[in-house]
Structure 1
Amino acid sequence: MRLTFLGTGSAMPTGRRAQSGTLLTADGTALLVDCGSGVLDALARTDIGYEGVDTLLLTHHHLDHVSDLDVLMKARWLAGETELTVAGPPGTTALVEDLLSVHEYMQDRLDLTLVDIEGTTFSLAGFEGERMETRHSMQCFAYRLTPASGGPTIALSGDSEAFAELVEFADGAAVLVHDCSFPDDVDVSNHPTPTSLGAALAGADAAVGRVYLTHLYPHTEGRHEEMLDSLGEEYDGDVRFAEDGLSITVDSV
């Protein structure tokens, strides 16, 4: 399985990071998780391109996670790829329908499958998934995703404060992609800082592989080593910052 970071930024652009977007590929299938501003351009730079991605999974509906959704729909239509599945928390169907009501000329251009994830497990684009609700300012899901044919699991936190139960949800994952939006000196809710995330990682009854930090606000620029040191005072595992364009092969823990 391959994991590619398309966008590791946040709602405040830096000029160096696209907003949230992650690409998972396994066994000839591809799944895009979130599609914030700049993600479609990043996807176009991959070998698979937006033509090769017919399934989008949303963690939640904040703009920095969905703002390239209508752009993706139009690009696939223009490329002659008219099938697209969009799945996510309840309200995802209404979100897409509302976008199409604004852009009326796009109505009926695509063969859309819209999925509001109601249960705790689901199957999507060759992956078996589980979801958990996070602690954020709107309903947001974290996900565990495993190729249907078997293999390693990737867990993605979505946007969330750090808490042990979320880390335990990722137990056994080869990679945990986790929000770490701000350094410790920023007073913030709905997102973690390094110390709070380190404490959650250390306090959880879970074994996870490498942790990648993402959803990075401009406040984090130039402070990565300081943030890793703060997190490392609580947790001694393998933690790294994600970067746009980073693509890794994921092996089992």
Structure 2
Amino acid sequence: MRLTFLGTGSAMPTGTRAQSGYLLRHGDETLLVDCGSGVLNALARTDVGYEGVDTVVLTHHHLDHVSDLAVLLKARWLAGETDLTVVGPPGTSDLVEETLAVHEYMQGRLDLTLRDRTTGTFDLAGFTIESMAVRHSMQCFAYRLQPADGGPSVVLSGDTEAFPELIEFADGAAVLVHDCSFPDDVDVSNHPTPTTLGEALAAAEAELGRVYLTHLYPHTEGRHEEMLASLADHYDGQVTFAEDGLTVRVED
């Protein structure tokens, strides 16, 4: 399985990071998790392209996670690909339908499958996906994704404060992609800082592979080494800042 970071930024653009989006590939199967602003261009730069993605999973409905979804629908339609499955927290179906209702010319042109999910486990696009509610300002899910035919897992935190139960949800995962929006001197709720994330990683009873930090606000630019040092005061595992365009092979 391969994971490509399409967008590692946040609701405040930096000019170098797209908003949230992650592409998972296993064999011929592809899955897009979140579709914030700039993700469509990033997807077009991959060998999959937006034509090759017919399934999207949303962590939540904030604009920086969904704003390119309507753009993806139109681009796929223009490319002759009219089908798309969109799955996410309750309200996902209404979100897509109400977005399309604004654009009359798109009516009747798409073959959509829309599914609202609560927490639990489901199979989708060649992956087994387990969801967990996290701590954010609106309903948001973390996802654990594993190829349906077996192999290592990836856990995507979504937007969330750091807490040990979420880290334990990732126990045994080869890759944990976790929100780390701000450095320690920013007073913030609904997102972690390096210290709060490091404390949660240390407090949890979990074995993890690589940890990648994402959902990075402009406040973090130029401060990565400082943030990694702060996190390392609590947790001694492998932690890296994710970058747009980075592709990692997910292995045990």
Taking structure 2 as the reference length, what is the TM-score of the superposition?
0.99
Alignment gaps of 5+ in structure 2: none
What displacement does 1:119 show? Answer: 4.4
Q: SS in structure 1 opposite 2:30?
A: strand
* Structure 1 residue 9, shift from structure 2 partner: 0.1
Q: Greater CA deviation, 99-108 or 217-226?
A: 99-108
How far off its partner does 1:107 sit?
1.5
Partner of 1:209 in structure 2? 209
Structure 2 match to 1:240: 240
Query: Quick check: 1:13 aligned with 2:18?
Result: no
Query: Residue 84 of structure 2 corresponds to which residue in structure 1?
Result: 84
Q: Tell whether 2:242 aligns with 1:226.
A: no
Q: For residues 148 and 239 of structure 2, what CA distance do their matches in structure 1 show? A: 27
Q: Distance in 1 between matches of 2:143 and 2:118?
A: 13
Aligned to 1:151: 151
Percent identity (aligned): 77
Q: Deviation of residue 108 (structure 1)?
A: 1.5
| 1:38-58 superposed Cα distances (whole Å, 9 cap, x missing partner) | 000000000000000000000
The Cα shift of 1:194 comes to: 0.1
Q: 1:220-248: per-residue Cα shift (whole Å, max 9, x none)?
A: 00000000000000000000000000001
For 2:191, give the aligned amino acid: H
Matched, 1:97 2:127: no
Rounded Cα–Cα distance in structure 2 between residues aligned with 1:105 and 1:122: 33
Equivalent AA in structure 2 for residue 225 of structure 1: E
Aligned to 2:200: 200
Alpha-carbon shift at residue 118 of structure 1 (Å)? 2.5
Tell me the matched-pair count: 252
Deviation for aligned residue 1:132: 0.3
Q: Following the alignment from structure 1 to structure 2, what is the Cα–Cα distance between the partners of residues 118 and 183?
A: 32
Instruction: Report 1:126-205 matches (<5 A).
Output: 126-205=126-205
What does residue 49 of structure 2 align with? 49
In structure 2, how many angstroms separate the alpha carbons of the residues matched to 1:128 and 1:86?
16
Which residue number in structure 2 is paired with residue 111 of structure 1? 111
Residue correspondence of structure 1 range 120-131 to structure 2 within 5 A: 120-131=120-131
AA partner of residue 16 (structure 2): R
Q: Deviations over 1:131-154 (max 9, x none)?
A: 000000000000000000111100
Q: Which moved more, 1:84-93 or 1:112-121?
A: 112-121
Superposition deviation, residue 27 in structure 1: 1.9
Paired residue secondary structure (1:227)? helix
Unmatched runs of 5 consecutive residues or more in structure 1: none
The CA distance in 1 between the partners of 2:202 and 2:54, in whole Å, is 37
Residue type of the partner of 1:238? Answer: Q
Map of 2:64 onto structure 1: 64
Q: Alpha carbon RMSD of aligned pairs, Å? A: 0.5
Tell me, yes or no, if structure 1 residue 31 matches structure 2 residue 31: yes
Give structure 1 regions of 4+ aligned residues with deviation exceeding 4 angstroms. none
Aligned equivalents of 2:107 and 2:149: distance in 1?
A: 35
Query: What SS does the corresponding residue of 2:195 show, helix, strand or coil?
Result: helix
Which residue identity does 1:187 align to in structure 2?
D
SS in 2 for 1:158: coil
Q: Deviations over 1:195-236 (max 9, x none)?
A: 000000010011111000000000000000000000000000
